[in-house]
Amino acid sequence: ADLNLEAVHDEMVTLAYEAGRMILAANPASIDTGTKLNSVDIVTEVDQAVEKMVSTRLSAAFPSVAFMGEETYKPGTRLGPEPTFVVDPIDGTTNFVHSVPNACTSLGLAIDRSPVVGVIYNPWQDLLFTAIKGRGAFMTRIRGTAPRKLPLAETPRPLGGLGTALLGVEWGSGRDGPNFDLKMDVFQKLARSKETGGAMVHSLRSMGSAALNIAAVAAGQLDAFWEGGCWAWDVCAGWCILNEAGGRMVSGNPGGWDPALDGRVYLAVRAAPKGQEELVHEIWDVIGDRKM
Ligand code: IPD
């Protein structure tokens, strides 16, 4: 039987609020924290408990749908074409551990490796982003109040190029090697004055959650977001929301318009009547011929 995307969306919203309750109930000062690939790739017992709750309830409600979650991911597993829930229980774990109130639960559904439902919830701000493919994207600030359609501006401003852009970037957990060097070089070139060869963007923001960065681009608060080092669960929900908000996800490596959901490098650009493609090319020029 065909999967009812609206039923998936509604269940995800319920689970996102439930996850939010669990996250807010935890005291980061006293929770068990472990690390994964290195000492800055952090996981907590709350990440694991939220993923368990979400996977149990999604599997009970939609037993035919596969599940991929950050905390139970087996290295080497590829996202397949079959309907798959793609879940990050806490995107922004580092913020969570340091009590910075900017992290979220990110719940996506992919079919044919393409995002079709996305729900992102930041419990500290009671801020919910949702989308179903073909039906628009919405933001609800304070549960129970009316959702607002995304982008928030009815008529978004044209994009004026890098010199007037506010960009989201993230440090990620990789801290050495060519990818790290490329990232640092790109940050520097983006920020540096025009006189000294840079693009002099208005500023760079590292808010600590890939999903919330993408949601901010969908809302029109950031002009673009670039990151190398993402996983499917960081981007699946946000990508659906971005698409439905008239934004565009392209490859964060120069030249590619259609990144795969199991890629690692992404560039999200906000909706705009003009300048979307030009901004992408300007960022690609900064990256140059190097690939992550
Ligand atoms: C991380 C955050 C971070 C981004 C990393 C992600 P996590 O997710 O989104 O902002 O830079 O690439 O892996 O580990 O907090 O779920």
- Mean pLDDT for each 10-residue chunk of the chain (292 residues)? 93 98 93 88 93 98 97 94 98 96 98 98 98 98 97 96 98 95 97 97 98 98 96 98 98 94 95 98 96 92
Q: Closest Cα to residue 9, out of 108, 114, 113?
A: 108
Residue from 11, 47, 51, 70 carrying the catalytic annotation: 70
Catalytic residue, from 47, 88, 170, 223: name it. 88
How many angstroms does the Cα of residue 208 sit away from the middle of ligand 1?
7
Task: Please tell me the residue having the least CA distance from ligand 1 atom 15.
Answer: 92
pLDDT at residue 1, as a whole number: 61
Active site residue 90: yes
- What is the rounded distance in angstroms from the CA atom of residue 192 to the CA atom of residue 211? 27
Is the full-model pTM beyond 0.80? Answer: yes
Burial string for 175-202 (b: 16+ CB within 10 Å, else e) reads eeeebbebbeebbebbbeeeeeebbbbe
| 118: nearest Cα among 252, 231, 244 | 244
Alpha carbon of 52 to ligand 1 centroid (Å): 19
Cβ(110)–Cβ(86) below 8 Å:
yes
Catalytic residue chosen out of the listed positions 51, 91, 170, 227:
91
- Residue 41's pLDDT is what? 87
Which of 279, 292, 254 has its CA nearest to residue 201? Answer: 279
Pairing relation of β-strands 166-169 and 114-122?
unpaired
209 lines ligand 1 (CB under 6 A): yes
Is residue 240 exposed (0-12), middle (13-18) or buried (19+ Cβ within 10 Å)?
buried
Q: How far apart are CA 292 and CA 279, in angstroms?
A: 19
Q: How far is the CA of 275 from the centre of ligand 1 (A)?
A: 28
Asked if ipTM goes beyond 0.90, one says yes
| DSSP 8-state symbol, 176 | S
Which structure tokens are listed for 237?
């929900």
CA of 227 to the centre of ligand 1 (A): 10
Q: Is 93 noted as a catalytic residue in this protein?
A: yes
Ligand 1 site, residue 265, Cβ cutoff 6 A: no
The answer to whether the beta carbons of residues 45 and 32 sit under 8 Å apart is yes
Q: Is 181 a catalytic residue?
A: no
Type of residue numbered 223: D
